[in-house]
Amino acid sequence: MLLNILAVGDIVGEGGQDILARRLRELQREHDIHFTVVNGENASGVGLTPRQARGMYDAGADVITLGNHTWNRIQIADFLDKDPYILRPANYAGRVPGRGFGVYDGPKGLKIGVMNLMGRLELNSNLDSPFKAANQILRSHEAQQCQVLLLDFHAEATSEKGAMAWYLDGRIHALWGTHTHVPTADTQILPKGTGFVTDLGMTGPRHSVLGIRPEHSINLFLGGLPRRYEEAEGPCQINACRFTIDTDKNRCVQVQRVDLLE
């Protein structure tokens, strides 16, 4: 069958939560989506609360992934242990709550495996290697039972995202980057069948700098005193990509941007 996966870029603040709640199911219907993964790590600006996670499920998310702001709302820690549908990066060093890989039921009995990993270059050098973590997950019994394997790679450097995609080409079906909040135009299918885009972008205020009020970012670059960032106001957007996977051929056959602007 042709399986359509929707990957939604970082939800930013109340504006991002609002447009997701109002427009995600419309996007799913329009593009015949079977399974949806949403990155939720910026729902509170920095971090995610259990209430916000439940709101994303109500909006239509099947799985929520996180990133470098996983622990900024520490009340999520217990929720990560209890809820199998929310993932934090698998390569956090040491013993931390939650999981970085999950197996989920798709249509027609398909098993869909979702990984969440975080890059180290210019982001967090104290992580375990995401490349080694990916290998370990893919060798696991759980991953080998999956017909479809997906990865949200939360990373700063475009080179690290690209290297991971080529490293895993043919071993997973789709990899998308998150974190930079800037959508990229490089949707592609690698030679062995893995669909890839460097960054999904973000879901949040359009008239902003990465979702925050522009004057706050300008102040920082002009050498002003640090201040708490505030979410920008005004119309919002959903940045997302659709990955079409041919489960009979065991490869991705199309990657398409499906952004929605208000």
User: Is 154 a catalytic site residue?
Assistant: no
User: Which token pair is 62?
Assistant: 């099947």
Torsion of CA 185, 231, 214, 221, to 10 degrees: -100
Alpha-carbon distance values, 125 to 74, 91, 131, 189 (Å): 21, 11, 13, 29
What are the helix (H) ranges across the chain?
13-30, 50-59, 76-82, 130-139, 141-144, 158-167, 214-221
Catalytic residue among 31, 34, 69, 181: 69
Strand 240-246: give its sheet, edge to edge. 86-87, 63-65, 35-39, 2-8, 240-246, 251-257
Single out the residue of 24, 1, 37, 48 nearest to residue 175, CA to CA: 37
Query: What distance, in Å, lies between the first and last C-alpha atoms of the chain?
Result: 33
Residues designated catalytic: 69
